[in-house]
Amino acid sequence: MDQARGAGYLTDVRYPAHFHAEQAPLWLAAVLAALGRAAPAATSWCEVGCGQGFGALVLAAANPSVRFTGIDINPEHIEIARRRADAAGLENVRFLCADVRDPDAVEGSFSHIVTHGVLSWVGDDVREAFVAFTARHLAPGGIAAVHYMSEPGGSAFRAFHSVFRQLAGRPDAVAEGLRLLTAMRDAGAGFFQLYPHAGASLDDLLTRDADYIAHEYMNPDFRPLAFREVQGAFAQAGLDWLGSAMPVENVDALSLPAEAARVIEEIRDPVLRETMKDMARNQAMRYDLFAHPAPAPGNAAHMALLRQPVWGMLPGAPFLGPEAETIVFDTRIGPVEGDARVFRPLLQRLGQGPARFADLEQVPPFAGRPGLLNQVFQMALGARFAHPVQPVRDPFGAGRLNRLLLQEAQAGAHVPALSAPALGSGFEVSAEDLAALSAGGGAPHLRLMFVLDA
């Protein structure tokens, strides 16, 4: 595999289309409210390292009043993104082929800056340039969502990178790397004994597209980062760390082993606390939120933030009958078990239609316990069975984009999500539902969600 490079990054292989719900303004607003931080008014959104621009397109179609910008170093990615935007008639999104190290590449400020799958796959100079870019272009009150491979859990995957990189230039390097790693795992190699999560990740890689694996492990650079160095870099640039874009990681009671939580509870230094949490979870990926400094709100202001969103139930939400005792959340830090008596009232209420925080505040077991209700909403958001909803005022862009994506799916393309304006986001659809929707059928609630008849 030839290594055409831009900014030290592989550019001769397309990065597959992906959608990350954590980048949507409504998602981020709900997470920020739970953390006690007012979200910015969504006016302008920018993704650094947008790939084919799939996420930016889906979000632009779902949020027609917001200006979206996608930046990528790969001109082929940008051409694909622009063609899709033109074909769908989306006028609120633009795509720039640019190097983040160029201070003149982009003008203006953004209420939201996001990046996924970049910081751990580039050199120090690009990471430093991204931090400077964020500090320079993040609007007052804005939010940055920053994804990266993290220590200690991500460190095991340096071994994967080493194997794949040594095979670079061979005719089928990805397949050969997978074969070697699988053979070593099956032979009981000590590495896989010491790092069982590496075996689970290998199983996942065996289901993935070869281009995705190439981007993960055949870049010249691959470095899991410690939270303290990422937080330190943004702090030096004048930006505060707020928490995680992944809701479960902000709820210690639900995301930390009880014994480890008791040890961490005594630590007062916030950076050391977060480092110990990463150790307790063997954290392999982080999605950190950064913003300009702002005073923390009082209790009344925090409650007002929690009461703002309107929440709706998503297709596929679990049914908890009276006999159910627990609900299990499958998160990237492992299974987390919840009490069905706590989650059942939320599911029952959302099953009747959209609701606000205040609609559940007097329902047992939440009466007088807003902290518990906050945690339940955040767990439901992270598990993708509840989501903030918004009025749909202009569905036509989403309808056009979705019809275009369904045509692509029918032709065999991978379509990871469709645009859902009521969510201000995208929503993943099964292969069966994609096929039915592509053929002009599909469940009525899905056709409504994706405004296919608009």
> What is the rounded average pLDDT for all residues in the chain?
94
CA 364 – CA 362 distance, rounded (Å): 7
285-291/418-420 β-pairing: unpaired
Task: Provide the pLDDT for residue 258.
Answer: 86
The SS3 call for residue 439 is coil
Strand partners, 150: 225
Q: What is the DSSP string of 165-195?
A: HHTTTSTTHHHHHHHHHHHHHHTT-HHHHH-
CA 281 – CA 293 distance, rounded (Å): 28
CA 409 – CA 435 distance, rounded (Å): 8
Q: What is the pLDDT of residues 239-279, one digit of tens each?
A: 999 999 999 999 888 788 889 999 999 999 999 999 999 99
Task: Provide the pLDDT for residue 12.
Answer: 82
Q: What is the pLDDT of residues 32-74, one digit of tens each?
A: 999 999 999 999 999 999 999 999 999 999 999 999 999 999 9
CA 419, 420, 421 angle in degrees (round to 5)? 110
CA 291, 292, 295 angle in degrees (round to 5)? 105
Q: What is the mean pLDDT of residues 411-419?
A: 95
Q: Could you give the residue ranges of the DSSP H alpha helices within 226-382? A: 227-236, 252-255, 258-265, 270-281, 299-306, 340-351, 357-360, 370-382
Q: What is the pLDDT of residues 288-307, one digit of tens each?
A: 999 999 998 999 999 999 99
pLDDT of 282 over the 90 cut: yes
Whole-Å CA distances, 153 to 104, 281, 317, 383:
36, 8, 30, 22
CA 81 – CA 92 distance, rounded (Å): 13
What b-and-e string marks burial along 364-395, b requiring 16 or more CB atoms within 10 Å of the CB?
Answer: eebeeebeebbbbbbbbbbbebbbbbbebeeb
Q: Are 192 and 184 in contact (CB under 8 A)?
A: yes
Q: What is the DSSP string of 374-402?
A: HHHHHHHHHTTSEEEE---S--HHHHHHH
Q: What is the pLDDT of residues 202-237, one digit of tens each?
A: 999 999 999 999 999 999 999 999 999 999 999 999
